[in-house]
Structure 1
């Protein structure tokens, strides 16, 4: 995610998390990490989020202020951190057995480890409004039939592209297959256009390529099986790396991409937003971060799903992605959950109007006005399969290794076979 994403997602290993034996059974309102009633009689709780870029940078404080205005007995202490800084800080505080009252989460393996350590509130019996949310948006926050998080955004990763630069290269239709995609990369280079912007420094954007190729070649069942058997050395996973190397060998990325950040000045989003690259593989938040870090491409911006791979078993209707949500620490004040209900249900229209998020409330997709957002939402509605970001779906150490190994492949430091071996080793050790 940008700092409003999820997105994304170079997860640091939650050191020592599974060994924690911390009791977090304080009654609601007592506040184990800064939350609870204070000397002035107000209920105070901590809220950690990653809204450091627009639209969340402005919108999130507005929503918090609206809530405290309507509930003068509540005070919210907000901490907004850039994506990687947030994950590093949360890892440290988790390892100490503490979590903020309300904290950003993308669900999956990271949240599950926090749940297994007894640090997260089970919301199942408290969310009497969960039926108003779409099932796919809740999926990443549910384990064993229980719910541990509240989503505010959901979407998928795909290619955002510059129509003007495609036209310059003589490309009239977005590619539908990997072979066509590689041909288009060659056409863009021949036209003097940088084909792809990539934040090589942050690693998580690079893992999108390998993950999608694994889905397209080996298929979703293979990813599910690998998660269970802890073996990613199958031919389909190796082939995913081979196809990614085909792309890397074309040198499609911007100059100095290995040192580029995502939302930083001159980074991936700015390179794309300023029209200096033709494509970026990114989630639903992509356009808003492009605008915040660079410029608004407006009508020149288009979207197409990740191509299929000839001979692969995966289909174009199987999507890869995720969204953003919030979880509560065990024993957080009940007002914290009231805030999440207010944030999601009563402010869904504002979230969608900001053009930075996709709907999690049933029926809210009708409020979308942006053409590209409609395409993404429509793809989700028609999806025949869904895979959460691998660096979230798997345990933290495994997700970290996916990011690191794929980054090494892109940098020319690992072979496709070495990537799968390293991920397998991490999975067996997790």
Structure 2
């Protein structure tokens, strides 16, 4: 069962930069009144229905209430279509006034192409801690406004674990395997994993890599980029085998490659599986109670999975949830968390409405504004502002561990585009009975070589 690999963004970007050189931005036109700002955001539902109330409703409506002369027109697209459409527009000197983008390596590519406004020194940056801004900084210049920090880990059913003798979350890999074996032996599905879409596999792999690779090789990703390391000669082989072990032992519910985000969320919320891997972005889909208007879907905007069982995140069973790291560390070795800068908002260099864009975004990050409250409710990101407390009980234990300072960014944030896709698509093939860890590592090295 071969999986189609997504087109490589870096190649597309390179072609568009060349094409864009032949067509300068159009001349600045007089502004109309009111000003309409174009905003792009990835993640529209696959069935065409809006599943992001904040982006489509709260943000434009509350900005208009605050600034009657500003209108915001939002466009949402699935991730692949979003990236291609956006880059085509930017290369032509057009596109939205502002849009959502990813930090670190992918931000560097857009900043290097000259597509982003340099925000260095602007007053709006005072709303963020230096740590939060780091993911949107290139060569000392700031090009974006972060949502905060995102964390990967395991959502789990606390009540179910306690009934089977586990009052504390396992602190190392051996203990985690023991927990899964106990649950399986007692007729409980330990883990449900949506493997239908490749990107969900990252939620199991990066947390394991955090404790297996980076404690001894903190500069591993930099060594990859300089040609001083390869995936084939690294501990990524161990990480891939550790994750595959969960499937081989039957700890992950069968049919993973046909399981979508909504189905996995429903299984967990109905108490049919004890654990699901994900992140803080899954808060609404995995904690909502009966009658909630929050949108279902594990780390996704789609709830159109045709094989999802009856019920959804809005019919969640009443049990206590927890969220803790997936422990990849050996007994007695330190546990490292998988925590990275969240995506954020960047402003196009082509915008003719920079003051209005800055007004709208500053209102979003104003401490006591109603828009700020809606923003925090939607994204559940770790705080970006100095001294801010997230205030969510399910994340308290994870936050305590973060204070140890032992965490590493998501691996793909330092990799060229295409490497993570090769890893996850290759893992899907492995689950389907084709290929193995060596084939995956070779594919990752090929993508890395193309990007150098």
Common fold by TM > 0.5: yes
CA distance in 1, matches of 2:98, 2:317: 35
| TM-score of the aligned structures, taking structure 1 as reference length | 0.84
Residue 375 to residue 309, structure 1, CA distance change in 2 (3 Å): closer
Indicate the residue corresponding to 1:136 in structure 2. Answer: 131
Indicate the residue corresponding to 2:31 in structure 1. Answer: 37
1:305 to 310, 325, 336: 325
Q: 157-166 vs 297-306, which deviates more?
A: 297-306
Preserved CA contact (<8 Å) 1:11 1:392? no
How large is the RMSD of aligned CA atoms in angstroms?
3.0
How is 1:3-402 mapped onto 2 (pairs within 5 angstroms)? 13-14=8-9, 15-19=11-15, 20-21=17-18, 22-23=20-21, 26=25, 37-38=31-32, 41-50=33-42, 57-60=52-55, 61-81=57-77, 85-95=78-88, 97=91, 99-125=95-121, 127-219=122-214, 220-229=218-227, 231-262=230-261, 264=262, 266=263, 268-290=264-286, 291=288, 292-293=295-296, 294=313, 295-296=315-316, 300-310=320-330, 315-332=334-351, 333-334=353-354, 335-345=356-366, 346=369, 347-353=371-377, 356-365=380-389, 368-387=390-409, 389-402=410-423
Structure 1 runs not aligned, ≥5 long: 1-9, 31-35
Residue 108 to residue 403, structure 1, CA distance change in 2 (3 Å): farther
- Runs of 4+ with >6 A deviation: 53-56
CA distance in 2, matches of 1:76, 1:261: 32
1:52 Cα shift? 5.7
* Secondary structure at 1:238 match in 2: helix
1:192 Cα shift? 1.5
Residue 351 to residue 419, structure 1, CA distance change in 2 (3 Å): same
* Secondary structure at 2:250 match in 1: coil
1:278 Cα shift? 0.9
Residue 92 to residue 278, structure 1, CA distance change in 2 (3 Å): same
CA distance in 1, matches of 2:63, 2:119: 20
Indicate the residue corresponding to 2:292 in structure 1. Answer: none
Residue 405 to residue 77, structure 1, CA distance change in 2 (3 Å): same
Residue 176 to residue 25, structure 1, CA distance change in 2 (3 Å): farther
Preserved CA contact (<8 Å) 1:319 1:383? no
Preserved CA contact (<8 Å) 1:207 1:403? yes
Preserved CA contact (<8 Å) 2:190 2:274? yes
* Secondary structure at 1:104 match in 2: strand
1:253 Cα shift? 2.2
CA distance in 2, matches of 1:55, 1:304: 30
1:28 Cα shift? 10
Structure 2 runs not aligned, ≥5 long: 289-294, 297-312
Preserved CA contact (<8 Å) 1:157 1:320? yes
Preserved CA contact (<8 Å) 1:391 1:400? no
* Secondary structure at 2:343 match in 1: strand
| TM-score of the aligned structures, taking structure 2 as reference length | 0.80
CA distance in 2, matches of 1:195, 1:249: 13
